[in-house]
């Protein structure tokens, strides 16, 4: 596999020179200056590509070319937005960038209730607390019918939390769930006005959109872009839903082996593939992540290596890369056997050793990810030795 790293562009405090020193080979990035739905001009793609090449690296993967909400919920501008998306894809093809990651999650890309959960060793990790998540849904977002999505014991704990939660904790929850984590992916919800009100407005067009409809909208999108992908040999790789379950009453369609099978069969073309995000999949107790890797490796075009640890009550935490729920060594065997030099990046590192003061995007620390990359590089070397001996 190719060792890649998610880098947020020339303004990223982690420089390309730093990345070369730690063994990174390929860069994962995007034209972050453009909002979802805007065209990525060829000249801008080339300029960033040259900037990366000047540091002795290559732009291996686009993460993400964002899919506009209107494409996901089939709004009136969907065809025009798809046309722009096709043009951006062709421009990437002209520049020789072939791997494109995207997701099809309504509104919320990924969800954590605590971005700085203290671990016993003094580091902090991303954390998901089901009761606090339910608290946000029921008491802060105040979504109609939200109670129906949670069992009685969670509702009781939400009421108990309501008696003790402070204003600062409420603000921290809003910040973690819908401001900081989404800000660097889909554009900021911060700034002027209430983020919760903005979030409600973004959710409104999904009222009544079922899982089946969302699936059909994904199929429609994929069918429309496949000719461009075939022409330029572009490997589209959808990112699984994180966490892999419906949230805030909106459907999610890439949560399980069945969902992925449906997606790959809906448009049965090598160019319609998967980002195998082991971490997102591992947050669902229903997923046997190693079995899924075996089944979906032939259509995997990009790998995210990390793993969660599932905790009682539906909570989960990002585990160290060496000992979570998923055996990352076995995953490396599976993807190395694929033999396509698949780009791989570590994901969601701990915050440690001074990372906390640097203002990195949540989950995208330097030391934490560097440690993880060191661990994963060691696992890769061991697997390659194993193969040599066979």
Query: For tokens 């204003």, what's the residue?
Result: 167
Determine, following the binding rule CB under 6 A, whether residue 345 of this chain makes contact with ligand DNO.
no
Task: Find the shortest distance in angstroms from Cβ 244 to ligand DNO.
Answer: 12
Q: Which residues are catalytic?
A: 239, 277, 304, 347-348, 364
100 binds ligand DNO (CB under 6 A): no
The position carrying tokens 């990046």 is 345
- Shortest Cβ 361–ligand DNO spacing (Å): 8
Residue 103 binds ligand DNO, judged by CB under 6 A: yes
**Cα–Cα dist 364/357, whole Å:** 13
Per the listing, tokens 């030795």 go with 385
Burial (0-12, 13-18, 19+ Cβ within 10 Å), 76: exposed
Which residues in the 178-217 window bind ligand DNO by CB under 6 A?
Answer: 185
Tokens of 266: 């809906």
Query: What is the pairing mode between strands 315-318 and 308-311?
Result: antiparallel
Q: Which of residues 55-74 bind ligand DNO (CB under 6 A)?
A: 63-64
Residues numbered 22 to 61 that lie near ligand DNO (CB under 6 A) are: none
Q: How many residues bind ligand DNO (CB under 6 A)?
A: 11
Residue 300, beta-bridge partner list: 274
One residue of 102, 221, 248, 296 binding ligand DNO per CB under 6 A: 102
Q: Write each residue from 354 to 383 as x if it is in contact with ligand DNO (CB under 6 A), else as -, in one continuous string.
A: ---------x--------------------
With CB under 6 A as the contact rule, which of the stretches 95-103, 213-221, 281-289, 372-380 interacts with ligand DNO?
95-103
Nearest approach in angstroms of CB 159 to ligand DNO is: 32
282 binds ligand DNO (CB under 6 A): no
Q: Three-state DSSP class for 199?
A: helix
Which residues inside 235-254 make contact with ligand DNO, applying CB under 6 A? 239
Q: DSSP alpha helices (H): ranges in 165-273? A: 167-174, 181-186, 195-203, 211-232, 257-266
Burial of 268 (0-12, 13-18, 19+ CB in 10 A): exposed
Q: Which is nearer to ligand DNO, 104 or 136 (CB)?
A: 104
Using the minimum distance from each CB to ligand DNO, give the nearer residue, 178 or 383.
178
Q: Give me the numbers of helices (H) and strands (E) for the chain, helices first please.
A: 15, 12
Exposed/middle/buried for residue 236 (C-beta within 10 Å: 0-12, 13-18, 19+) = buried
The footprint of ligand DNO (CB under 6 A) covers 63-64, 101-103, 109-110, 185, 239, 347, 363
């Amino acid at each position: 596999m190719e060792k890649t790293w998610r880098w947020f562009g020339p303004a990223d405090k982690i420089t390309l020179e730093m990345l070369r020193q730690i063994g990174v080979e390929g860069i994962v990035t995007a034209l972050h200056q453009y909002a979802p739905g805007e065209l990525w001009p060829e000249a801008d793609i080339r300029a960033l590509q040259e900037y990366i090449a000047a540091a002795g690296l290559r732009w291996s993967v686009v993460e993400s070319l964002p899919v506009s909400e209107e494409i996901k919920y089939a709004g009136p501008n969907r065809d025009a937005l798809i046309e722009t998306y096709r043009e951006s894809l062709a421009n990437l093809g002209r520049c020789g960038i072939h791997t494109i990651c995207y997701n099809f999650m309504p509104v919320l890309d990924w969800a954590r209730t605590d971005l700085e959960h203290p671990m016993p060793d003094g580091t902090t990790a991303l954390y998901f607390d089901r009761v606090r998540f339910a608290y946000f849904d029921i008491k802060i977002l105040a979504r109609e019918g939200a109670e129906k999505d949670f069992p009685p014991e969670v509702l009781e704990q939400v009421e108990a939390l309501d008696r003790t939660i402070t204003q600062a904790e409420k603000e921290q929850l809003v910040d973690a769930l819908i401001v900081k984590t989404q800000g660097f992916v889909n554009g900021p919800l911060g700034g002027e006005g209430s983020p919760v009100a903005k979030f409600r407005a973004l959710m409104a067009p999904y009222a009544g959109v079922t899982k089946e409809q969302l699936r059909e909208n994904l199929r429609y999108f994929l069918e429309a872009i496949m000719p461009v992908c075939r022409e330029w040999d572009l490997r589209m790789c959808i990112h699984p839903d994180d966490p892999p379950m419906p949230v805030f009453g909106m459907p999610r369609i890439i949560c399980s082996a069945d969902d992925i099978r449906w997606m790959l069969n809906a448009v049965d073309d090598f160019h319609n593939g998967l980002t195998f995000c082991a971490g997102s999949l591992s947050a669902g107790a229903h997923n046997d992540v190693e079995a899924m890797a075996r089944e979906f490796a032939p259509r995997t075009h990009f790998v995210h290596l990390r793993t969660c640890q599932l905790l009682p009550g539906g909570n989960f935490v990002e585990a160290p890369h060496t000992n979570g729920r998923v055996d990352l060594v076995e995953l490396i065997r599976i993807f190395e056997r694929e033999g396509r030099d698949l780009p791989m990046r570590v994901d969601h590192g701990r915050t440690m050793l001074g990372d906390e003061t640097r203002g990195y995007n949540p989950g995208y620390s330097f030391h934490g990810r560097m440690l993880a990359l060191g661990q994963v590089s060691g696992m890769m070397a061991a697997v390659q030795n194993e193969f040599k001996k066979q």
